[in-house]
Amino acid sequence: MVGFASYDGTVLVCHERGEGSALVCLPGGPGRSSAYLGDLGGLTARRRAVLLDNRGTGESAAPADPVTYAMDRMVADVEALRAHLGLERVDLLGHSAAGGLALLYAARHPERIAHLVLVTPSTRPVGIELTDDQWYAQIERRADEPWYESRLPDLKAWDAGDESLRLRAQPFFYSPWNDTAEAHATRFAERSAPAAAGFSTSMPAVHETRAGLAKVTAPVLVIAGERDPEPLPAQAAELAALFPRGTSTVLPGAHYPWVTAPDAFADTVEGFLEIAVEATGGGRLS
């Protein structure tokens, strides 16, 4: 565990696991500590993962000003971590909501990206939105699973705003929903309410973010889960196309592919980080 002061003096903590080249990892949620990322499906056996607890989560301090929980303000935390690590350019991984944070960081600091890995990321910062019909069509792909009928009303109630049913809705975000998935969902259910509430309160204009991403010359990998409600594989491909060297791939599982398809996840990410250094252009991985 390593602490450092961010731009406003808030002390943030990152956890280092493994050895070798650093891969900075941003947890989503929003409002979750980095603990739920675990060993990223065994990826930490192959390289050094630097897992950031975002402000107000995990071991990191809460900021004096709650306005700084906003995603666009947290870009400065990522930049402070890069400087703290002494990296000229950073290999950066963002999951889910923090995929959006990683997008904003890349748009603002395109020259600082060595490799960018976006795991089942939020696509809202670039204006790629899923319709309700698309979302529920993906949900209905799980209709043949034994828990579907009992959990669907919980999912709909949670989607309508009942946070008390978040855990009951989790089977739709793991595939398969088994003991391993349930243990992960239960163990790491806690979130920081202030951090979650402040995360999406402000965001740069979509055209500004897209213009910044067009300047990212580093390799970019967007990972979609085969049964993830969001993003769909088509959205992942659309996001990847915003980058000069963007690629997308679809892995087994849903929103947490490193939990239910660990080998496929670790092999894909490590392969991308190794090969992309010498790559001359983009292209789909699948």
Q: What is the pLDDT of residue 1?
A: 85
Checking if the pLDDT of 219 tops 50, the result is yes
Over range 35-41, report the average pLDDT: 98
Out of 3.90.70.10, 1.10.10.10, 3.40.50.1820, 3.30.1360.70, which CATH number does the structure's domain 2-133+193-278 have?
A: 3.40.50.1820
CB contact at 8 A, 262 and 41: yes
**Residue 127: other Cβ atoms inside 10 A:** 11
Express each pLDDT in 72-103 by its tens digit: 999 999 999 999 999 999 999 999 999 999 99
Torsion sign, CA atoms 129, 131, 132, 134: negative
Instruction: Look at residue 270 and give its three-state secondary structure.
Output: helix
Place of tokens 């009942």: 162
Q: What is the pLDDT of residue 278?
A: 43
Question: Where exactly are the structural domains of the chain?
Answer: 2-133+193-278
CA distance to 39, 42, 209, per residue, from 18 (Å): 9, 10, 33
Checking if the pLDDT of 281 tops 50, the result is no
**Residue 270: other Cβ atoms inside 10 A:** 18
Place of tokens 């897209």: 210
Distance of alpha carbon 111 from alpha carbon 280, whole angstroms? 17
Express each pLDDT in 163-198 by its tens digit: 999 999 999 999 999 999 999 999 999 999 999 999
Q: What is the pLDDT of residue 285?
A: 39
Distance of alpha carbon 129 from alpha carbon 93, whole angstroms? 21
Torsion sign, CA atoms 40, 82, 16, 35: negative
| pLDDT confidence bin for 144, thresholds 50/70/90 | very high
Distance of alpha carbon 279 from alpha carbon 75, whole angstroms? 27
Q: State which H helix or E strand residue 263 sits in.
A: helix 262-275
DSSP letter for 31, please.
T
Torsion sign, CA atoms 217, 221, 224, 230: negative
Secondary structure (DSSP) of 37-79? GTTGGGGGGTSEEEEEE-TTSTTSPPPSSGGGGSHHHHHHHHH
Over range 252-264, report the average pLDDT: 97
Q: What is the pLDDT of residue 276?
A: 52
**Residue 7: other Cβ atoms inside 10 A:** 13
Checking if the pLDDT of 53 tops 70, the result is yes
Q: Both ends of the chain: CA-CA distance in Å?
A: 37
Mean pLDDT of the chain: 95
Tell me what percent of the residues of the chain surpass a pLDDT of 90.
94
